[in-house]
Amino acid sequence: MPRYPPQVSPQYVPQYPPHSPPVASNSPSSASLDSGPSPREPPSALSEKFSRLPSFSTPSPNLRYELNMRQQPVAARACGFGERDRRVVDPPPILELKVIDAETGKVDSENTPYVYTTLHCTLINAMTYKDESQIEPAHPNAPATQRLMGTAVASPFSGTDESGRRGTFFVFPDLSCRNPGRYRFQFRLLIVDPLNLSVGTTSRIQSSIISEPFEVYTAKEFPGMRASSALLKALRKQGLNVAVKKGREATKKATRRSGHVDEDESSAEEGENVADEDDQDSDDARSQAATGSRDRRKRKRRE
Protein backbone atom coordinates (compact mmCIF):
# COMPACT_ATOMS: atom_id res chain seq x y z
CA MET A 1 0.00 0.00 0.00
CA PRO A 2 1.23 3.50 -0.73
CA ARG A 3 2.41 5.47 2.24
CA TYR A 4 1.22 9.03 2.56
CA PRO A 5 2.94 11.69 4.61
CA PRO A 6 1.15 12.61 7.87
CA GLN A 7 -1.12 15.63 7.70
CA VAL A 8 -0.13 18.41 10.06
CA SER A 9 -2.76 21.02 10.93
CA PRO A 10 -1.64 24.59 10.96
CA GLN A 11 -0.94 26.04 14.44
CA TYR A 12 -3.71 28.35 15.70
CA VAL A 13 -2.47 31.73 16.78
CA PRO A 14 -5.02 33.86 18.71
CA GLN A 15 -5.54 37.35 17.44
CA TYR A 16 -5.60 39.97 20.22
CA PRO A 17 -6.79 43.52 19.68
CA PRO A 18 -4.11 46.13 19.67
CA HIS A 19 -3.29 47.65 23.04
CA SER A 20 -5.09 50.89 23.75
CA PRO A 21 -4.87 53.14 26.83
CA PRO A 22 -7.83 53.10 29.28
CA VAL A 23 -10.52 55.66 28.72
CA ALA A 24 -11.93 57.53 31.72
CA SER A 25 -15.65 57.07 32.28
CA ASN A 26 -18.11 59.45 33.91
CA SER A 27 -20.45 56.72 35.18
CA PRO A 28 -21.17 56.65 38.90
CA SER A 29 -19.86 53.08 39.20
CA SER A 30 -16.44 53.96 37.86
CA ALA A 31 -16.30 57.14 39.88
CA SER A 32 -16.99 55.24 43.10
CA LEU A 33 -13.80 53.19 42.55
CA ASP A 34 -11.64 56.28 42.63
CA SER A 35 -10.49 57.83 45.85
CA GLY A 36 -11.81 61.23 44.92
CA PRO A 37 -15.39 62.46 44.41
CA SER A 38 -17.38 61.98 41.25
CA PRO A 39 -16.49 64.34 38.39
CA ARG A 40 -20.16 65.31 38.17
CA GLU A 41 -20.21 66.72 41.70
CA PRO A 42 -17.34 68.93 42.81
CA PRO A 43 -16.27 68.83 46.50
CA SER A 44 -18.06 72.10 47.17
CA ALA A 45 -21.40 70.62 46.03
CA LEU A 46 -20.91 67.52 48.19
CA SER A 47 -20.12 69.55 51.29
CA GLU A 48 -23.20 71.67 50.70
CA LYS A 49 -25.37 68.55 50.29
CA PHE A 50 -24.18 66.92 53.52
CA SER A 51 -24.57 70.17 55.41
CA ARG A 52 -28.32 70.09 54.65
CA LEU A 53 -28.79 66.60 56.11
CA PRO A 54 -30.34 66.45 59.61
CA SER A 55 -28.01 65.74 62.48
CA PHE A 56 -28.75 62.64 64.56
CA SER A 57 -26.14 63.18 67.23
CA THR A 58 -26.80 63.60 70.93
CA PRO A 59 -29.81 65.88 71.54
CA SER A 60 -28.92 69.52 71.92
CA PRO A 61 -28.75 70.77 75.52
CA ASN A 62 -30.62 73.90 74.42
CA LEU A 63 -33.77 71.84 73.84
CA ARG A 64 -36.04 70.67 76.66
CA TYR A 65 -38.51 67.81 76.15
CA GLU A 66 -41.76 67.96 78.10
CA LEU A 67 -44.52 65.35 78.30
CA ASN A 68 -48.11 66.31 78.98
CA MET A 69 -50.86 63.83 79.91
CA ARG A 70 -53.73 64.64 77.57
CA GLN A 71 -55.82 61.64 78.68
CA GLN A 72 -55.47 59.90 82.04
CA PRO A 73 -56.24 56.20 82.65
CA VAL A 74 -59.22 55.68 84.96
CA ALA A 75 -60.12 52.00 85.32
CA ALA A 76 -59.45 48.54 83.96
CA ARG A 77 -60.78 45.02 84.30
CA ALA A 78 -58.26 42.38 85.41
CA CYS A 79 -57.47 40.36 82.30
CA GLY A 80 -56.39 37.08 83.91
CA PHE A 81 -53.68 34.88 82.43
CA GLY A 82 -55.26 33.87 79.13
CA GLU A 83 -54.44 35.69 75.91
CA ARG A 84 -58.13 35.75 74.91
CA ASP A 85 -59.12 37.28 78.24
CA ARG A 86 -57.40 40.61 77.55
CA ARG A 87 -59.11 43.72 78.95
CA VAL A 88 -57.50 47.05 78.06
CA VAL A 89 -57.09 50.03 80.36
CA ASP A 90 -59.89 52.55 79.83
CA PRO A 91 -59.52 55.21 78.60
CA PRO A 92 -56.20 54.64 76.81
CA PRO A 93 -53.43 56.99 77.97
CA ILE A 94 -52.60 59.78 75.52
CA LEU A 95 -49.51 61.96 75.94
CA GLU A 96 -48.30 64.99 74.03
CA LEU A 97 -44.64 65.85 73.46
CA LYS A 98 -43.41 69.44 73.41
CA VAL A 99 -39.87 70.47 72.44
CA ILE A 100 -39.04 73.79 74.11
CA ASP A 101 -36.07 76.04 73.45
CA ALA A 102 -34.37 76.55 76.80
CA GLU A 103 -33.14 80.04 75.89
CA THR A 104 -36.35 81.52 74.53
CA GLY A 105 -38.90 79.29 76.28
CA LYS A 106 -40.87 78.82 73.05
CA VAL A 107 -42.04 75.56 71.52
CA ASP A 108 -39.65 74.45 68.79
CA SER A 109 -41.78 72.34 66.45
CA GLU A 110 -39.10 72.09 63.73
CA ASN A 111 -36.65 70.08 65.88
CA THR A 112 -39.20 67.54 67.07
CA PRO A 113 -37.59 64.09 66.53
CA TYR A 114 -40.09 61.69 64.96
CA VAL A 115 -38.16 58.70 63.64
CA TYR A 116 -35.86 57.83 66.53
CA THR A 117 -38.17 58.71 69.43
CA THR A 118 -39.97 56.15 71.60
CA LEU A 119 -42.03 56.36 74.76
CA HIS A 120 -41.80 53.44 77.17
CA CYS A 121 -44.46 52.59 79.78
CA THR A 122 -44.06 50.74 83.08
CA LEU A 123 -46.60 49.79 85.74
CA ILE A 124 -45.87 51.11 89.23
CA ASN A 125 -47.60 50.96 92.59
CA ALA A 126 -49.90 53.93 93.24
CA MET A 127 -48.54 54.47 96.77
CA THR A 128 -44.92 53.28 96.81
CA TYR A 129 -44.08 54.02 93.13
CA LYS A 130 -42.37 50.64 92.95
CA ASP A 131 -42.14 48.97 89.56
CA GLU A 132 -44.78 46.23 89.44
CA SER A 133 -44.71 45.38 85.75
CA GLN A 134 -43.79 41.81 86.68
CA ILE A 135 -45.09 39.35 89.28
CA GLU A 136 -42.41 38.04 91.58
CA PRO A 137 -41.95 34.26 91.15
CA ALA A 138 -42.87 31.91 93.98
CA HIS A 139 -39.51 30.16 93.74
CA PRO A 140 -36.13 31.84 93.20
CA ASN A 141 -35.36 29.76 90.11
CA ALA A 142 -38.78 30.24 88.51
CA PRO A 143 -39.19 32.88 85.78
CA ALA A 144 -41.11 36.06 86.49
CA THR A 145 -44.61 36.56 85.05
CA GLN A 146 -45.71 39.74 83.33
CA ARG A 147 -48.35 41.73 85.20
CA LEU A 148 -48.44 44.48 82.56
CA MET A 149 -49.62 43.02 79.25
CA GLY A 150 -49.81 44.55 75.79
CA THR A 151 -47.72 47.04 73.83
CA ALA A 152 -45.72 49.09 76.33
CA VAL A 153 -43.81 51.13 73.71
CA ALA A 154 -45.36 53.81 71.48
CA SER A 155 -44.09 55.81 68.54
CA PRO A 156 -44.93 59.48 67.96
CA PHE A 157 -47.98 60.41 65.89
CA SER A 158 -48.11 63.85 64.33
CA GLY A 159 -51.62 65.24 64.00
CA THR A 160 -54.14 67.74 65.28
CA ASP A 161 -56.24 67.46 68.42
CA GLU A 162 -59.99 68.00 68.76
CA SER A 163 -59.43 71.79 68.64
CA GLY A 164 -57.39 71.67 65.43
CA ARG A 165 -54.07 72.40 67.14
CA ARG A 166 -51.11 70.44 65.74
CA GLY A 167 -48.94 68.37 68.06
CA THR A 168 -46.98 65.16 68.59
CA PHE A 169 -48.95 62.47 70.45
CA PHE A 170 -48.25 59.06 71.97
CA VAL A 171 -51.22 56.70 72.37
CA PHE A 172 -51.27 53.43 74.37
CA PRO A 173 -54.47 51.57 73.38
CA ASP A 174 -53.19 48.06 74.22
CA LEU A 175 -52.31 48.02 77.93
CA SER A 176 -53.75 45.41 80.31
CA CYS A 177 -53.17 44.44 83.94
CA ARG A 178 -53.53 40.91 85.26
CA ASN A 179 -54.10 41.60 88.96
CA PRO A 180 -56.64 43.85 90.70
CA GLY A 181 -55.22 46.78 92.60
CA ARG A 182 -54.40 50.46 92.43
CA TYR A 183 -51.61 51.42 90.05
CA ARG A 184 -50.03 54.23 88.06
CA PHE A 185 -48.22 54.40 84.74
CA GLN A 186 -44.73 55.82 84.42
CA PHE A 187 -43.70 57.02 80.96
CA ARG A 188 -40.08 57.59 79.88
CA LEU A 189 -39.04 59.36 76.68
CA LEU A 190 -36.03 57.91 74.83
CA ILE A 191 -34.31 59.35 71.76
CA VAL A 192 -32.10 56.80 70.03
CA ASP A 193 -28.90 57.93 68.30
CA PRO A 194 -28.69 55.93 65.01
CA LEU A 195 -24.99 56.78 64.64
CA ASN A 196 -24.18 55.12 67.95
CA LEU A 197 -25.96 51.74 67.93
CA SER A 198 -23.09 49.51 69.00
CA VAL A 199 -23.60 46.74 71.55
CA GLY A 200 -23.78 48.01 75.10
CA THR A 201 -24.74 51.60 74.33
CA THR A 202 -27.59 53.15 76.29
CA SER A 203 -29.90 56.06 75.58
CA ARG A 204 -30.40 58.81 78.10
CA ILE A 205 -33.95 59.43 79.32
CA GLN A 206 -34.99 62.83 77.99
CA SER A 207 -38.20 63.22 79.99
CA SER A 208 -40.43 61.30 82.40
CA ILE A 209 -43.98 61.63 83.72
CA ILE A 210 -46.29 59.64 86.02
CA SER A 211 -50.02 59.31 85.45
CA GLU A 212 -52.82 59.68 87.94
CA PRO A 213 -53.75 56.50 89.91
CA PHE A 214 -56.25 54.12 88.32
CA GLU A 215 -58.11 51.11 89.68
CA VAL A 216 -58.00 47.58 88.26
CA TYR A 217 -61.25 45.78 89.18
CA THR A 218 -62.35 42.19 89.18
CA ALA A 219 -64.89 41.01 86.60
CA LYS A 220 -67.84 41.49 89.00
CA GLU A 221 -66.78 44.95 90.22
CA PHE A 222 -65.78 46.48 86.89
CA PRO A 223 -68.11 49.44 86.18
CA GLY A 224 -67.87 49.14 82.38
CA MET A 225 -66.20 50.89 79.48
CA ARG A 226 -66.48 54.63 78.85
CA ALA A 227 -67.17 56.35 75.58
CA SER A 228 -64.10 57.43 73.61
CA SER A 229 -63.00 61.02 73.98
CA ALA A 230 -63.09 63.65 71.26
CA LEU A 231 -59.28 63.66 71.16
CA LEU A 232 -59.10 59.93 70.39
CA LYS A 233 -61.77 60.24 67.70
CA ALA A 234 -59.90 63.15 66.10
CA LEU A 235 -56.63 61.18 65.99
CA ARG A 236 -58.40 58.15 64.53
CA LYS A 237 -59.85 60.22 61.69
CA GLN A 238 -56.28 61.23 60.80
CA GLY A 239 -55.09 57.63 60.46
CA LEU A 240 -54.28 56.43 63.98
CA ASN A 241 -55.11 52.72 64.27
CA VAL A 242 -57.24 52.65 67.44
CA ALA A 243 -60.73 51.39 68.27
CA VAL A 244 -63.42 53.91 69.19
CA LYS A 245 -65.82 52.81 71.93
CA LYS A 246 -69.38 53.99 72.40
CA GLY A 247 -69.48 53.29 76.14
CA ARG A 248 -71.67 51.23 78.45
CA GLU A 249 -74.63 53.62 78.63
CA ALA A 250 -74.91 53.89 74.85
CA THR A 251 -74.68 50.11 74.55
CA LYS A 252 -77.50 49.57 77.05
CA LYS A 253 -79.76 51.98 75.18
CA ALA A 254 -79.03 50.23 71.89
CA THR A 255 -79.71 46.80 73.36
CA ARG A 256 -83.01 47.97 74.87
CA ARG A 257 -84.13 49.31 71.49
CA SER A 258 -83.14 46.14 69.64
CA GLY A 259 -84.45 43.78 72.32
CA HIS A 260 -81.18 41.84 72.59
CA VAL A 261 -79.00 41.49 75.65
CA ASP A 262 -75.48 41.60 74.29
CA GLU A 263 -72.86 44.08 75.44
CA ASP A 264 -70.31 43.05 72.83
CA GLU A 265 -72.20 44.15 69.72
CA SER A 266 -70.48 46.77 67.64
CA SER A 267 -71.79 49.19 65.04
CA ALA A 268 -70.42 51.59 62.45
CA GLU A 269 -70.69 55.25 63.34
CA GLU A 270 -69.52 57.82 60.78
CA GLY A 271 -67.22 55.30 59.17
CA GLU A 272 -65.59 54.36 62.51
CA ASN A 273 -65.46 50.92 64.04
CA VAL A 274 -67.22 51.11 67.39
CA ALA A 275 -66.36 48.42 69.93
CA ASP A 276 -67.39 47.78 73.51
CA GLU A 277 -66.64 45.34 76.32
CA ASP A 278 -69.19 42.92 77.74
CA ASP A 279 -69.85 43.31 81.47
CA GLN A 280 -71.10 41.06 84.24
CA ASP A 281 -74.71 42.28 84.08
CA SER A 282 -75.16 41.07 80.52
CA ASP A 283 -73.58 37.71 81.41
CA ASP A 284 -76.01 37.29 84.30
CA ALA A 285 -78.96 38.21 82.08
CA ARG A 286 -77.94 35.66 79.45
CA SER A 287 -77.48 32.94 82.07
CA GLN A 288 -80.89 33.69 83.60
CA ALA A 289 -82.54 33.57 80.17
CA ALA A 290 -80.89 30.24 79.40
CA THR A 291 -81.96 28.83 82.80
CA GLY A 292 -85.55 29.96 82.26
CA SER A 293 -85.70 28.32 78.83
CA ARG A 294 -84.45 25.04 80.26
CA ASP A 295 -87.06 25.15 83.02
CA ARG A 296 -89.82 25.72 80.48
CA ARG A 297 -88.68 22.74 78.42
CA LYS A 298 -88.66 20.53 81.53
CA ARG A 299 -92.22 21.56 82.41
CA LYS A 300 -93.42 20.74 78.89
CA ARG A 301 -91.87 17.28 79.10
CA ARG A 302 -93.66 16.58 82.43
CA GLU A 303 -97.00 17.64 80.93
| Residue 167 · residue 157 · CB < 8 Å | no
Q: How confident is the model at residue 106 (pLDDT cuts 50, 70, 90)?
A: confident
DSSP-derived 3-state class of residue 32: helix
pLDDT at 36 over 60: no
| Residue 193 · residue 120 · CB < 8 Å | no
Pairwise pLDDT comparison (173 vs 2), residue with the higher score: 173
> In this predicted model, what pLDDT tens digit does every residue of 40-72 receive, in sequence order?
555 555 455 444 444 444 556 678 899 999 999
Q: What percent of the chain has pLDDT over 70?
A: 58
The answer to whether position 104 is within a domain reads yes
pLDDT at 201 over 80: no
Distance CA 43, CA 111 (A): 28
Query: Do 210 and 265 reside in the same domain of the chain?
Result: no
Segment 158-163 mean pLDDT: 93
The confidence score (pLDDT) of residue 248 equals 66
pLDDT at 164 over 90: yes
Distance CA 62, CA 48 (A): 25
The answer to whether position 19 is within a domain reads no
CATH number for the domain harbouring residue 79: 2.60.40.3960
Query: Do 264 and 134 reside in the same domain of the chain?
Result: no
Query: Do 184 and 280 reside in the same domain of the chain?
Result: no
Rounded to the nearest 10 degrees, how much is the dihedral formed by the CA atoms of 204, 205, 207, 213?
A: -170
**Cβ contacts of residue 233 below 8 Å, gap of 6+?**
162, 244, 272
The confidence score (pLDDT) of residue 257 equals 60
Query: Do 194 and 78 reside in the same domain of the chain?
Result: yes
Query: Do 178 and 253 reside in the same domain of the chain?
Result: no
Query: Do 152 and 295 reside in the same domain of the chain?
Result: no
The answer to whether position 285 is within a domain reads yes
Give the type of residue at 36.
Answer: G
The answer to whether position 235 is within a domain reads no
**DSSP label of 224:** -
* Cα–Cα nearest to 191, from 101, 97, 107: 97
Query: Mean pLDDT: which of 25-39, 133-147, 195-209 is highest?
Result: 133-147
Q: How confident is the model at residue 136 (pLDDT cuts 50, 70, 90)?
A: confident
pLDDT at 142 over 50: yes
Cα distances (Å, whole numbers) of residue 50 to 29, 43, 132, 197: 20, 11, 46, 21
**Cβ contacts of residue 38 below 8 Å, gap of 6+?**
28, 31, 32
The confidence score (pLDDT) of residue 192 equals 77
* Count of the separate structural domains present in the chain: 2
Q: How confident is the model at residue 32 (pLDDT cuts 50, 70, 90)?
A: very low
The confidence score (pLDDT) of residue 9 equals 52
Query: Do 280 and 217 reside in the same domain of the chain?
Result: no
Segment 195-213 mean pLDDT: 82
Query: Do 138 and 271 reside in the same domain of the chain?
Result: no
> In this predicted model, what pLDDT tens digit does every residue of 260-288 receive, in sequence order?
544 444 433 334 443 444 444 445 555 56
The answer to whether position 56 is within a domain reads no
**Cβ contacts of residue 283 below 8 Å, gap of 6+?**
none
Query: Do 132 and 281 reside in the same domain of the chain?
Result: no
207: containing domain? 63-223
Query: Do 120 and 204 reside in the same domain of the chain?
Result: yes
The answer to whether position 30 is within a domain reads no
Distance CA 43, CA 51 (A): 12
**Cβ contacts of residue 1 below 8 Å, gap of 6+?**
none
Cα distances (Å, whole numbers) of residue 282 to 223, 244, 275: 12, 21, 16
The answer to whether position 44 is within a domain reads no
pLDDT at 295 over 50: yes
Give the type of residue at 89.
Answer: V
Q: How confident is the model at residue 253 (pLDDT cuts 50, 70, 90)?
A: low
Query: Do 197 and 148 reside in the same domain of the chain?
Result: yes
The confidence score (pLDDT) of residue 117 equals 87
Query: Do 143 and 261 reside in the same domain of the chain?
Result: no
Distance CA 127, CA 19 (A): 87
Pairwise pLDDT comparison (303 vs 212), residue with the higher score: 212
Give the type of residue at 262.
Answer: D
**DSSP label of 174:** -
The answer to whether position 260 is within a domain reads yes
